[in-house]
């Protein structure tokens, strides 16, 4: 909490000072109300003075008016300050998460990340509001009332508060337990968010496999675990209430006995006694809130631990101090003796001594069994990861020495898992280049074979595509992704199984769009279906992280190695073999003619 106050409260200091002034006024008015009791009993009722009654009534009304306006000012200022602090923290956390390495997202579920940005920040907001309000308003009120009590009778004040230090040890113990339970509650909240995210996004699979009952049981169990943790936390927070009530009762009884005896003996006036009792009763509620402050703060402290633990994670993939923008000359890419292993799998490297040469403007394909390292090669080019050995260069420039912005601005990506945002078609295409004009958007959509269906929609480019593009077919989503890449107009293109899982008609449309997209660009293609890469300039075959074969399609078939075996497996059921002249539409016409010739 100290870190939060130091890093995020400082910009709000003017509002905090103004709020504290309002709190001081509220506290002073509360103490003045207790002081009024002495005047009412001694000057009004004791002396039977009508003029004094009118003055006391007017003064009491004025006290409430001033207290009301000061309370309003304090509430508005504290609410504004608390919301500003937490919204600033949410923005900071989101910027950090978005800027994190790709491995950061591999190790964490989306539900947990959402929980930290929303639920943990909400917990922290509540704790911060409680802290600033209680420490400010309640503490100042208590100080004013206690000062009045000591002014009236210091011995009676000591009697009233002598028992309260006994509550210090239980307060500390309860606080530790609440913080431990709060951590578990926040972790369970993240787990529940992850489960709901998976089920809602996988609704089609849930229904297809008839798993509604199983998923409902899983959700029920997760909710029940969260309920039990929250119940334990609530019980722990309430554990101090009996002790505070007992101690408060003892204090009031002791004051009544001693103070009442003094009044009967004539040592003090009834007005002074009842003014003291009023101050004690008014101080009781702020004192209870301050006693419960430690427990109330623990959930916020646990949330702060989780938030700052994430903020403190430093990304490994960052610009070097001497990084330079990419000076693009054609887009030639080279992987030179590249070695890479994922964290925790050093004994099973994803790539080992890989050499790949991608000339400027050429189309190069990567094929091989699952787990061969194809996707890892893709991830190294835009520096989603850094190799542990060797280097990756573009036009002779080591990507490690380039600014990330200039590097990634030069690369377009179209993958099999198309991600469309819950926004309009226009916004999803513009994601490739937000500053593009309307004419450029339409031109990109036409080139991607997407305008033929966009033009038939009532809202056209303004149609909302739904979560992850759910309102569009697979082929339509793929063509929107190609239009996005067209608009970006990057000189380097990465295609990851861009035509997989499509029906024949959609595949033909996507292949036609891809044929236009790859023209004049350095293109690297991942493919499991060999029919899509037969006309590539060169094919690299990877197996267990190594390049085991390389060459044109016909040459690799003649070798009789892994590529030839994969080809035979795919075409053994009578499909048109590539060496019999079939060439994919996803490559430029001249390359198709070369493959057929």
pLDDT-based confidence at residue 337 (cuts at 50, 70, 90): very high
Q: Give the mean model confidence (pLDDT) for residues 391-414.
A: 91
Q: What is the per-residue pLDDT across 30-44, written as a single tens digit (0 to 9) for each?
A: 888 877 777 777 666
Q: Answer whether CATH 3.40.50.300 is correct for domain 333-574.
A: yes
Q: What is the per-residue pLDDT across 437-487, written as a single tens digit (0 to 9) for each?
A: 999 999 888 888 888 888 888 888 999 988 878 888 888 888 888 888 888
Higher pLDDT, 207 or 388: 388
d(CA 433, CA 421): 15
Can you tell me whether residue 281 is helix, strand or coil?
Answer: helix
- Whole-number Cα distances in Å, 317 to 4, 107, 310, 381: 27, 16, 16, 13
d(CA 463, CA 426): 8
Q: Give the mean model confidence (pLDDT) for residues 119-123.
A: 82
- Type and span of the H or E element at 125: helix 121-133
Q: Give the mean model confidence (pLDDT) for residues 132-144.
A: 77
In the chain, the N- to C-terminal Cα span, in Å, equals 72
* Residue limits of CATH 1.20.1560.10 in the chain: 1-312
pLDDT for the residue 42 = 67
Q: Give the mean model confidence (pLDDT) for residues 552-579.
A: 75
List Cβ<8 Å contacts ≥24 apart for 430-434: 430/487, 431/484, 432/483, 432/484, 432/485, 432/486, 432/487, 432/488, 433/487, 433/488, 433/489
Higher pLDDT, 549 or 171: 549
Q: Give the mean model confidence (pLDDT) for residues 138-166.
A: 78
Q: What is the per-residue pLDDT across 259-275, written as a single tens digit (0 to 9) for each?
A: 778 778 877 778 777 78
pLDDT-based confidence at residue 170 (cuts at 50, 70, 90): low
Q: Give the mean model confidence (pLDDT) for residues 426-445.
A: 88
d(CA 272, CA 245): 25
Can you tell me whether residue 402 is helix, strand or coil?
Answer: strand
Q: Lowest-pLDDT range, 401-415, 487-501, 579-593?
A: 579-593
- For residue 333, is pLDDT > 90? yes
pLDDT for the residue 304 = 82
- For residue 94, is pLDDT > 80? yes
pLDDT for the residue 403 = 93
pTM: 0.69
pLDDT-based confidence at residue 208 (cuts at 50, 70, 90): low
- For residue 583, is pLDDT > 50? no
Higher pLDDT, 502 or 161: 161
pLDDT for the residue 596 = 41
Q: Which range scores top for mean pLDDT: 60-69, 171-180, 523-532?
A: 60-69
* Residue limits of CATH 3.40.50.300 in the chain: 333-574
Query: CATH says 1-312 is which class?
Result: mainly alpha
pLDDT for the residue 550 = 92
**How is 282-316 classified by DSSP, letter by letter?**
HHHHHHHHHHHHHHHHHHHHHHHHHHHHHHTPPPS
């Amino acid at each position: 909490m100290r870190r939060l106050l130091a890093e995020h409260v400082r910009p709000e200091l003017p509002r905090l000072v103004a709020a504290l002034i309002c709190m001081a006024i509220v506290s002073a008015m509360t103490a003045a109300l207790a002081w009024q009791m002495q005047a009412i009993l001694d000057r009004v009722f004791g002396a039977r003075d009508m003029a004094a009654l009118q003055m006391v009534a007017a003064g009491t009304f004025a006290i409430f008016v001033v207290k009301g306006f000061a309370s309003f000012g304090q509430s508005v200022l504290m609410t504004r300050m608390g919301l500003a602090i937490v919204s600033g923290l949410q923005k900071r956390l989101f910027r950090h998460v978005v800027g994190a390495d790709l491995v950061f997202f591999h190790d964490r579920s989306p539900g947990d990340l959402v929980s930290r940005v929303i639920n943990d920040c909400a917990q922290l907001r509540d704790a911060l509001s409680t802290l600033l309000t209680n420490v400010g308003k309640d503490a100042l009120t208590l100080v004013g009332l206690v000062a009045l009590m000591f002014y009236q009778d210091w011995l009676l004040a000591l009697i009233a508060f002598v028992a309260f230090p006994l509550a210090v040890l239980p307060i500390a113990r309860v606080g530790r337990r609440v913080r431990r339970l709060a951590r578990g509650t926040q972790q369970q909240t993240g787990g529940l968010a992850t489960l709901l995210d998976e089920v809602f996004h996988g609704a089609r699979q849930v229904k297809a496999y008839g798993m509604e009952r199983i998923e409902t049981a899983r959700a029920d169990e997760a909710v029940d675990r969260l309920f039990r943790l929250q119940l334990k936390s609530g019980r722990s927070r309430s554990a101090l209430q009996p002790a505070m009530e007992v101690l408060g009762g003892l204090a009031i009884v002791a004051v009544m006995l001693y103070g009442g005896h003094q009044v009967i003996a004539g040592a003090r006036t009834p007005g002074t006694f009842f003014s003291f009792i009023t101050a004690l009763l008014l101080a009781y509620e702020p004192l209870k809130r301050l006693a419960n402050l430690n427990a109330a703060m623990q959930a916020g402290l646990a949330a702060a631990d989780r938030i700052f633990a994430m903020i403190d994670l430093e990304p490994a993939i960052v610009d070097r101090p001497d990084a330079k923008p990419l000076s693009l000359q054609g887009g030639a890419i080279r992987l030179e003796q590249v070695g890479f292993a994922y964290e925790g799998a050093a004994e099973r490297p994803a790539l080992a001594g890989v050499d790949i040469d991608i000339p400027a403007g050429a189309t190069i394909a990567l094929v091989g069994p699952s787990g061969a390292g194809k996707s890892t090669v893709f991830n190294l080019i835009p520096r989603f990861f850094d190799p542990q050995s060797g280097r990756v260069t573009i036009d002779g420039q080591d990507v490690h020495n380039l600014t990330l912005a200039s590097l990634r601005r030069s690369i377009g990506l179209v993958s099999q898992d198309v991600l469309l945002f819950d926004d309009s078609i226009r916004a999803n295409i513009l994601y490739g280049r937000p500053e593009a004009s309307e004419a450029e958007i339409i031109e990109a959509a036409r080139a991607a074979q997407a305008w033929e269906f966009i033009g038939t929609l009532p809202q056209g480019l303004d149609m909302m595509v739904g979560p992850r593009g759910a309102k569009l077919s697979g082929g339509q989503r793929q063509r929107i992704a190609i239009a996005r890449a067209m608009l970006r107009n990057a000189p380097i293109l990465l295609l990851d199984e861009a035509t997989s899982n499509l029906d024949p008609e959609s595949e033909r449309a996507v292949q036609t769009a891809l044929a236009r997209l790859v023209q004049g660009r350095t293109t690297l293609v991942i493919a499991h279906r060999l029919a899509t890469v037969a006309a590539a300039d060169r094919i690299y075959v990877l197996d267990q992280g190594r390049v085991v074969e390389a060459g044109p399609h016909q040459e690799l078939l003649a070798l009789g190695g892994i590529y030839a075996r994969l080809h035979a497996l795919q075409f053994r059921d009578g499909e048109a073999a590539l060496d019999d002249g079939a060439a994919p539409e996803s490559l430029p016409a001249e390359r198709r003619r070369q493959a057929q010739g």
